[in-house]
C-alpha cells in the first residue's frame, strides 16, 4: 500500500503528482527544485540553488520519517554541466559517506527555469 508524503517545508507539487510516496520501507521523492517554500523565491546562482534544492529534499526526507543518511539513490538534473563542480560541493554537505548512488544529467530546461532538480529513493 502506498502512502502520500507531504510537507510545507518543501515546494508544493505544481502538477498532478505527490511530493513523495512511501511504499513498504522505501520513500520515492518527486523532483525537488530550489524554490523557497515560505516565499516562493528562487535564489540566484548554481550554489545557492543547490543549497535550497538539497535543503528542500532534506525537509521532505525528514517529513517522511527518515534521514539523509538513508538515501540510497539520487538523480540530479542540471541545466549546465559547467555547474557540476559547484553543485557537487553543496551535494557533499548534505549526504554523509558512504554517498548514495547517483546519476547526474544535463537537461535543456527545468520547471520554473531553475538550474537543477533532484529526486531520491530513501530507506525508512
Domain extents in the chain: 2-123
For the domain spanning 2-123, the CATH number is 3.30.1330.40
**What's the rounded Cα separation, in Å, for the pair 69 and 94?**
9
**0.95 cut: is pTM over it?**
yes
CA distance from start to end of the chain: 15
Angle at 92 between CA 86 and CA 97, to 5 degrees: 155
The per-residue pLDDT for 14 is: 85
CB distance 118 to 77 below 8 Å? yes
- pLDDT confidence bin for 83, thresholds 50/70/90: very high
Note if 104 is an active site residue: yes
> Which one of the listed residues 104, 110, 119, 121 is annotated catalytic?
104
CB distance 6 to 63 below 8 Å? yes
Residue 110 has pLDDT above 90, yes or no: yes
Amino acid at each position: 500500500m502506498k502512502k502520500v508524503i507531504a510537507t510545507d517545508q518543501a515546494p508544493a507539487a505544481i502538477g498532478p503528482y505527490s511530493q513523495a510516496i512511501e511504499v513498504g520501507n522505501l520513500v520515492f521523492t518527486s523532483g525537488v527544485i530550489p524554490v523557497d517554500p515560505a516565499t516562493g523565491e528562487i535564489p540566484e546562482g548554481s550554489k545557492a540553488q543547490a543549497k535550497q534544492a538539497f535543503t528542500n529534499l532534506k525537509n521532505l526526507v525528514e517529513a517522511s520519517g527518515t534521514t539523509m543518511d538513508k538515501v540510497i539513490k539520487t538523480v540530479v538534473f542540471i541545466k549546465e554541466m559547467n555547474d557540476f563542480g559547484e553543485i557537487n560541493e553543496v551535494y557533499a554537505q548534505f549526504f554523509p559517506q558512504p554517498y548514495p548512488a547517483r546519476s547526474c544529467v544535463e537537461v535543456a530546461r527545468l520547471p520554473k527555469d531553475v538550474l537543477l532538480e533532484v529526486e531520491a529513493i530513501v530507506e525508512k
